Amino acid sequence: MKWERKDLLGIKDLSGEEISLILDTAESFLEVSTRDIKKVPTLRGKTIINFFVEASTRTRTSFEIAGKRLSADTINISASTSSLVKGETLADTARNLEAMNPDVIVIRHSCAGAPHMLARLVRQSIINAGDGAHEHPTQALLDMMTIRSRKGTLSGLNVTIVGDIAHSRVARSNIYGLNKMGAHLTVAGPATMMPRDIRELGVKVSFRLEEALQDADVVMMLRIQTEREQRSVFPSLREYSAFYCLNGDNIQRARPDVLVMHPGPVNRGVEISPEIADGANSVILEQVTNGVAVRMALLYLLTGAIE
């Protein structure tokens, strides 16, 4: 298995072997975070720019910790609005970032495809930390790592993803990744949250949560963006949670050892009831821990080819 990639733009481009290598490497890095001295000299002298053009505390912090634990210098550049608003094109911004000679640029952007554009313009490694509703590859990788460490495999598992699939980059990346790894996927939510031709991506579609939860090994609840309500994707938060909130009753349909996952932050009582979010099946905090290890693995892998 060789790793030759310069960028991680999406899970869609990766092979199953590459996903496995990332997960294996992440498992090796997991131990570093449990030490008293949580730092290894692996990326000493490397510079990582976290370029966040969309608010995100969790993902940015996770990347920052990952970089620091590898002894890289991490710099955060946040922009609350797009570069366009400042009268600077993304191409200008990219050339400016490139001129600072970082080794890796981690980009979060509200526009799908912005990391791809950056990757075309600069020679540095680009990691997509979430682009619009397109992909959030590191989230899917940490999700797959969490499932694999709990279940021993991804192949053959029934994974149900519930929520606004149309607007979810987490859903897309997980669909691409879990499909490659041999899981059986079901997406659930009202039809307004299902993008056109979603079945062609290799998933089953269910409009009823109870049906979608049947025999599930894993259930991923997506965060509901409450502002979507205004676009009439669903009539009201009240109605959404009445039909699509994971709770102590409907979870009985899933396998007893079902893993409950959520990319965070959780809207308690909207997409998931508090007793389930904090319950024995929940691995939500494990996801966060694994997120640091996955990002360490990617920073390592992208700063040089692996033989």
Partner 1 sequence: MSILLKGGRVVDPSRNLDGVKDILIEEGKIAAIADSMDDTTGETRVVHLEGKVVLPGLVDMHTHLREPGYEYKETIRSGSEAAAAGGFTSIACMPNTDPVNDSRAVTEYIVKRAGECNLVHVYPVAAISLRSEGRTLAEFGDLKEAGAVAFSDDGKPVVDSGLMRRALEYASSLGLVIIPHCEDLSLSAGGLMNEGRISTELGLPGIPTLAEEVMIARDLLLAEYTGAALHISHVSSAGSVRMIRNAKARGIPVTAETAPHYFTLTDEALRDFDPSFKVNPPLRSPLDRKAIREGLRDGTLDVIATDHAPHAATDKEVEFEYAASGISGLETALALSLRLVDDGLLTLSELVRKMSTNPAKILNIPGGALLPGADADITVFDPDRSWIVDPLSWRSKGKNSPFFGWTLKGKVLMTLVKGRVVYSED
Partner 2 sequence: MQKKLVMDAAEIDRSLTRIAYEILEKNKGVTDLVLVGIRTGGVFLAERLQKKIFDIEGVKVPSCILDITMYRDDLLSAHRKPRIMKTEIPFSLDKKKAILVDDVLFTGRTIRAAMDALIDFGRPQSIQLAVLIDRGHRELPIRADFVGANLPSFLWEEISVNLIEKNGRDEVVVEDSN
Chain residues in the site for partner 2 (CB under 8 A) = 21, 24-25, 27-29, 31-32, 35-37, 39-46, 70, 297, 300, 304-307
Residue 197 in contact with partner 1, rule: CB under 8 A: yes
Residue 12 in contact with partner 1, rule: CB under 8 A: yes
- C-alpha to C-alpha distance for 259 and 197, rounded to whole angstroms: 28
Residue 20 in contact with partner 1, rule: CB under 8 A: no
Integer-rounded Cα Rg, in Å, for the chain is 19
User: Is 216 in contact with 188 (CB distance < 8 Å)?
Assistant: no
Question: Could you tell me which of 101, 31, 38 has the C-alpha nearest to residue 67?
Answer: 38
Of the two residues 72 and 272, which places its CB atom closer to partner 2 in the complex?
72
52-115-56 Cα angle (round to 5): 25
Of the two residues 200 and 249, which places its CB atom closer to partner 1 in the complex?
200
Minimum separation from the CB atom of position 94 to partner 1 (A): 9
Judged by CB under 8 A, which of 114, 142, 251, 261 binds partner 1?
114
- C-alpha to C-alpha distance for 287 and 277, rounded to whole angstroms: 13
297 binds, among partner 2, partner 1, none (CB under 5 to 8 A by kind): partner 2
Neighbours of 72 (CB within 10 A): 24
Judged by CB under 8 A, which of 60, 69, 108, 109 binds partner 1?
109
28 binds, among partner 1, partner 2, none (CB under 5 to 8 A by kind): partner 2
The site string for partner 1 over 116-145 (x = CB under 8 A, - otherwise) reads xx--x----------xxxxx----------
DSSP 53-95: ES--SHHHHHHHHHHHHTT-EEEEEE-SS-GGGGT--HHHHHH
Near partner 1 in 221-280, by CB under 8 A: none
